[in-house]
Homo-oligomer: A and B are copies of this chain.
């Protein structure tokens, strides 16, 4: 199978929203008047972002999910994406699974594959995603204000818990591992919540490198600090609620590590004024996405962790850095 057959067979579909899709030098999008275009790129490398041998269907899902998560964090509605793919060799079964997982998630969000590139090389998946947001309404990292509540969507820490188990650093019951692994390999981008939070949240981002590190981006961009109630945060690991987890009795240190600095969560962390609590709850309900208040924004710079007794905890949880 040659390059153009491969594109035709697995990655070419008629477009409905775009003016022109796969098959010319460029794709063409006709922006909606009054909307701004939100753009984000994420690159996934084998051995770095996923294990060699990861299920192709889940990998296709995840490659798009991590990009949709960036649109969600801006409150943008997904429109389209490009896919650039370096493959060691043409493997029809892999391509079938990968494209099925990718396009199923794309369809679920009305996000069209409009173009890209394929080449031979070490497995590398680079997606650039496009969404639209009413002019001036994008959720940014710079809007947090002292006194705002601090929230996180969904669950935290499961992806890291699965990674620790898959790397042999901890042992999990099979059902617990399956729950955690699902979150590692098939994260859920919070696209509906992001859009529901427009005009409600004061700042937002998606948690990809670990809560504390990512939250630092909001704090720096907004010129504020924050206080986090870790007792709320460590409850957010989904796997600890699994029946096989024997009542959720994980090592507390591991729970802190996974939820506060785990990475690969693709949940939204966001802030909103106290006056918006009902609106946040309504956005959570409208998008069928759990939301938990885990702390508050403060004027004093820095991040303060508070334990179950209201006492400050040492901050020793590092965020993920590809080159550190």
Contact = CB atoms under 8 A, between A and B. Distances in A.
A117 B204 CA distance: 19
A118 interface: yes
A121 B47 contact: yes
Given A20-B138, A130-B39, A45 B86 contact: yes
A221 to B, nearest CB: 7
A169 interface: no
B120 A45 contact: yes
Interface residues of A, number: 73
Interface stretch (A70-78, A170-178, A296-304): A70-78
A28 B24 contact: no
Query: Copy number in this complex?
Result: 2
Interface stretch (A29-37, A156-164, A253-261): A29-37
Interface string A302-323: 0000000000000000000111
Interface in A123-142: 124, 126, 128, 130-131, 133, 135, 138, 140-142
A107 interface: no
A9 to B, nearest CB: 12
Contact of A73 (B25, B43, B87, B323): B25
A49 interface: yes
Contact of A26 (B46, B82, B131, B221): B131
A118 B322 contact: yes
A232 interface: no
Given A19-B36, A36-B19, A43 B321 contact: no
A84 to B, nearest CB: 4
A45 B205 contact: no
A206 interface: yes
A41 interface: yes
A49 B70 CA distance: 30
A122 interface: yes
A128 B43 contact: no
Interface of A: 1-4, 6, 19-20, 23-31, 33, 35-43, 45-49, 70-71, 73-74, 76, 80, 82-87, 89-90, 114-122, 124, 126, 128, 130-131, 133, 135, 138, 140-142, 204-206, 221, 321-324
Given A26-B138, A37-B37, 5 more contacts: A3-B321, A20-B138, A28-B39, A31-B35, A43-B119
Which 6 pairs, one residue from A and one from B, show the smallest C-beta to C-beta distance?
A45-B121, A31-B31, A25-B73, A126-B126, A26-B38, A128-B128
